[in-house]
Amino acid sequence: MTRALFVIDVQNDFTEGGALGVTGGAHVAQAVTDHLRARRDRYDLVVASRDWHAPDGDNGGHFSTEPDFVDSWPPHCVQGSSGAEYHPDLDTSFVDVHVLKGDGRPAYSLFDGVVADGRPFGGVLAAAGVDEVEVVGLATDHCVRASALDAVAAGLRVTVLTDLVAGVAAAPSDAALAELRAAGVRTVPSSDVVDGSTGVPA
């Protein structure tokens, strides 16, 4: 079995003080780093994604001056801006593959992105022979959800580590985790995957 860790969008604009800051985002950045320091050998591949939106235009309707916060949003994670950078508490030296998504169009899932040489991420993952993934990052109710669902659709065994994610709001985050469980995703704390527990908390 070849296992990957997906670190989703742990960026300055998605943490406290950012354009779309998530409460607990900075904690997730540090907690993911701590997890990797203790358990890097658990993963054959560590992948980190970033929103990487074009500085001009509305990125296919993704940006709006009157956002509905469902399909349109205030400008965020603009290419070359500090908001698009990884949060400083995320130690990116552990990352093997960096994925950029949302260049000129809406993109929520890691699978919508490309790697540095322009190859689609899905092809890179398939070439690595990954069959199991654990998902962490931001935000539970948006890009974590979309990435995990696409991982299931790609035929992977998927686990979301619930202590290493944070969402925009409690109710939609809970709904996203329920949707993921219904799709076959395990949702457990990071301690459970190490201890071997098969419990799936509500």
As given in the structure block, the two tokens for residue 87 are: 């949060």
Residues 6+ apart with CB under 8 A from 54: 78, 79, 103, 104
Assign domain 3-195 to its CATH architecture.
3-Layer(aba) Sandwich (3.40)
User: Which among 13, 77, 101, 112 is annotated as catalytic?
Assistant: 101
Return the domain boundaries, the chain.
3-195
Give the strand order in the sheet containing 3-8.
97-101, 45-51, 3-8, 132-138, 157-166, 186-188
pLDDT at 199 over 70: no
Q: Is 77 an annotated catalytic residue?
A: no
Q: Which has the higher per-residue pLDDT, 137 or 197? A: 137
169-183 pLDDT, tens digit per residue, is: 999 999 999 999 999
Q: Which two tokens stand for residue 56?
A: 């001009």
pLDDT band at 196 (very low <50, low <70, confident <90, very high): low
Three-state DSSP class for 57?
A: coil
- Tell me the residue ranges of DSSP E strands in 52-116: 97-101
Known catalytic membership, residue 9:
yes
**What is the pLDDT at residue 136?**
98
Q: Give the pLDDT confidence score for residue 1 in this predicted structure.
A: 85
Average pLDDT over residues 142-148: 97
**What is the Cα–Cα distance from 127 to 110, expressed in whole angstroms?**
16
Give the tens place of pLDDT for each residue, 11-55. Answer: 999 999 999 999 999 999 999 999 999 999 999 999 999 999 999
| Alpha carbons 80 and 75: distance in angstroms, whole number | 13
What is the rounded CA–CA span in Å between residue 125 and residue 37?
23
- Report angle CA 111, 148, 152 to the nearest 5 degrees: 90
pLDDT at residue number 145: 98
Locus of tokens 């290493």: 164
**Is residue 189 scored above 90 in pLDDT?**
yes
Residues 53-104 pLDDT 10s: 999 889 898 989 898 888 888 899 999 999 999 999 999 999 999 999 999 8
Q: Which of 9, 51, 150, 192 is catalytic?
A: 9
- Of 13, 112, 143, 150, the active-site residue reads 143
Query: Taking the alpha carbons of 68, 70, 71, 73 in that order, is the dihedral positive or negative?
Result: positive
Q: What is the mean pLDDT of the chain?
A: 93
Instruction: Evaluate if residue 195 carries a pLDDT over 90.
Output: no
Q: Is 101 an annotated catalytic residue?
A: yes
Distance CA 164, CA 28 (A): 5
